[in-house]
Structure 1
Amino acid sequence: MSARNNILQRLRERLDGPLSAPESDFAVVTNRGWGPEERLARFERLIGSVHGEVVHASRESWTTALAEVLADKGVRRLALGKEHPVAAEARRALADAEVELVDVDREIETWQQEQFETVDAGLTSTLGAIAETGSLWLWPTPDEPRLISLVPSLHIAVLDAETLEDTFFDVVEKHGWAKGMPTNALLISGPSKTADIEQTLAYGVHGPRELVVLVRHAGTTQESPDA
């Protein structure tokens, strides 16, 4: 019998019964009590502190705001999905724009060089954000693969204001990660950045050098909340 099997057998033959998980107090990682305005203000302040940009728009006008971002950034080729409502609406709005829409539902081997060399930006939806850390969270799918948020020099993420949570713990609890842990969740807290041994910070070395978060609000366009 191997050492591994010996250990497992001893655990199974415990005389005092199976081990039980100790009770845990998670109060320190939840219960912030922030309202929607404070939550959004914290998120915007924190993601802005690491060079993330936030653009506010109403649900009715967000594609107009998107077109303005693309024009301001000089985007000519935009990678995006097809099936997600965010991608589908963006495609309809940009059908006559001077932006080439790049399909991403392809095997990476067939367009890897194109993605790294000629795609200017990637557009994704988000499942929400975390106010405490200024982070977006995404759950990539075949329609919105992770590479369109990690490879192009500009990542544009569409966030619905009401999906903000106070803490990461709140996200995990509310969305039942304990029962269905995502295999490839992404937490994004700004554009890609790194520093050398002299602590000189550089953006875009290992991923997008710019991040624009397009926050959609119900009703009229909201002004940037005060921190």
Structure 2
Amino acid sequence: MSAREAILKRLRERTDGPLEAPESDFAVMTGRGWTAQERLERFERWIGSVHGEVIHVGRDDWTEALAEVLRDKGVQRLALGREHPVAAAAREALAGGDVELVAADRDIETWQREQFESVGAGLTSTGGGIAETGSLWLWPTPDEPRLLSLVPPIHIAVLDAESLEDTLHDVMARHDWAAGMPTNALLVSGPSKTADIEQTLAYGVHGPRELVVLVRHA
């Protein structure tokens, strides 16, 4: 009998009953009670404090703001999905324009060099946002792989204002992550940043140097 098997055998033959999870009090992680306006203001303040850029847009004209961002930042090639409503609307609005639309739903090995060297920005949807930390949360899919938000020098994310939650705990509870949390859930709090041994903060070393959040309002 191996050591592993011996340990499991002792656990199975416990005489004091099965192990049970202790009672947990999550009160400190929730219950902020902020209004929708307070959530939005906190989110914008915190993500802005780490160089995230927030642009408020209408539900029906957000693609016009997207086109303006791409133009102002000189983006010539935009990577995005096909199926998600955000990607579909962007494709329709930008079709025939000056920006080349690059499909992201491909095997990474077929366009890895292209993605790292010639894509100017990546566009993604978001699951929502967290007011307490100024964070976005994303659930990558084959249509919108996680590299869209991790590799291009500019990450453009579309966030619906009403999808903001107070805390990460509220997000996990509201969307029942315990029953179906994806393996690649991403939390994005500003552009990529790192600090060297001299504690000098640098942006864009290991990922996007800019994060632009288009916050859509009804």
TM-score relative to the length of structure 2: 0.99
One-letter amino acid of the counterpart of residue 183, structure 1: T
- Give me the whole-angstrom Cα distance separating, in 2, the residues matched to 1:196 and 1:23: 41
The percentage of aligned residue pairs carrying the same residue is 79
Alignment of 1:143-182 (within 5 A): 143-182=143-182
> For residue 11 of structure 1, what is the aligned residue in structure 2?
11
Q: Secondary structure of 2:10's partner? A: helix
**Alignment-derived partner of residue 56 in structure 1:** 56
1:18 partner letter: P
1:79 CA drift (Å):
0.3
Aligned to 2:120: 120
For the residue of structure 1 that corresponds to 2:9, the secondary structure is: helix
Partners of 1:25 and 1:200 lie apart in 2 by 38
Q: Residue 190 of structure 2 aligns with which residue? A: 190
Say how many residue pairs are matched.
218
Secondary structure of the corresponding residue to residue 63 of structure 2: helix
Code of the residue aligned with 1:37 in structure 2: it is Q
Kindly report the root-mean-square deviation, in angstroms, between the aligned alpha carbons of the 2 structures. Answer: 0.7
C-alpha deviation, 1:86, in angstroms: 0.1
CA shift for structure 1 position 143 = 0.3
- Distance in 1 of aligned mates of 2:200 and 2:17: 55
SS of equivalent residue, structure 1 residue 24: coil
Runs of at least 4 residues off by over 2 Å? none
Partner of 1:98: 98
Q: What is the correspondence of 1:128-143 to structure 2 with a 5 Å cutoff?
A: 128-143=128-143
CA deviation vs aligned residue, 1:143-192 (integer Å, no higher than 9, x gap): 00011110000000000001000000111111111111211100000000
- By how many angstroms is 1:96 displaced? 2.6
Aligned AA (1:152): P
The 1-side partners of 2:26 and 2:121 are apart by: 39
What is the alpha-carbon distance in structure 2 between the residues aligned to residue 104 and residue 10 of structure 1? 50
Q: Name the TM-score, length of structure 1 as normaliser.
A: 0.95
- Post-superposition CA distance 1:24-82 (Å, at most 9, x none): 11000000000100001000000000000000001011001111111111111000000
SS in 1 for 2:87: helix
User: SS where residue 180 of structure 2 aligns?
Assistant: coil
Q: Name the amino acid aligned to 2:114.
A: E
> What is the deviation of 1:97?
1.8
Per-residue deviation, 1:216: 0.3
Q: Secondary structure at the match of 2:66?
A: helix
